[in-house]
Structure 1
Amino acid sequence: MSEDLEFDCGGNRGDGRLIYTVTQISYEIKLILEDSYPTVWILGEISNFKLYNSGHIYFNIKDKNTQIRVVIFQSASINLTFSPKDGMKVLICGRVSSYPKRGDYQVIVNRMERCGSGELYEAYGELKERLKAEGFFDESAKKPIPDIVNKIGIVTSQDGAALCDILKVIDSLNANIETLIYPVRVQGKEAEKEIPQAIEYFNSNHKDLDVLLVGRGGGSVEDLWAFNMESVARAIFASEIPVVSCIGHEVDFTIADFVADMRAPTPSAAAEMVLRSRNDIKKRIEFLRESLNGAINFILYDRSVELDKLILSRALTKPYLIYEDKISYLDELDNRLLKSIGSLFKSKSENLGNVSHRLDIVSPLSVLRRGFSICFDSNNEVIEDSKDVNVGDDISIRFASGSLNAKVKSCE
Structure 2
Amino acid sequence: MHTTSQVGINEPILTVSELNSQVQQYLKEEFPRVVVEGEVTGLRAPSATGHWYFQLKDDRSVLPCVMFKWATARLKFTPTNGMLVHVRARLTLYEPQGRFQAVIEFMEPQGEGALRLAFEQLKARLREQGWFDEHRKKPLPKFPNNIAIISAQSGAATRDVFVNIWRRYPCVDLRLVPTSVQGATAKFEITTAIQHANQMEPTPDFAILTRGGGSLEDLAPFNSEEVAKAIFESEIPIVSAIGHDVDYTIADFVADFRAATPSTAAEQVTPDSNQLQSIFTQHINKFHQIYIFQESRKFERLKTLGRLLPNPKKILGTKEQQIDYLKDRITTNVTHTLFGDRTEFGTLLHRLLQVSPTNNLNFADTMTNNVMHELRASITKVIEKRQSQVEHNLDLLERVSPQSKLRVQSNSILASIEGARMSIQSRLTKANTVFSYIRNDLHRASPTTQISASTSRLFDLTRRLQNSMSQLVKQSTIYFTTQSEKLNTVSPLSTLQRGFAVLSKPNQSKYGAIVRSIDDVRAGETIHTRIVDGVVVSTVSKIEEE
TM norm structure 1: 0.44
Structure with greater strand share of residues: 1
Asked which structure has the greater RCO (Cα within 8 Å, sep 6+), the reply is 1
TM norm structure 2: 0.33
Q: Which has the larger radius of gyration?
A: 2
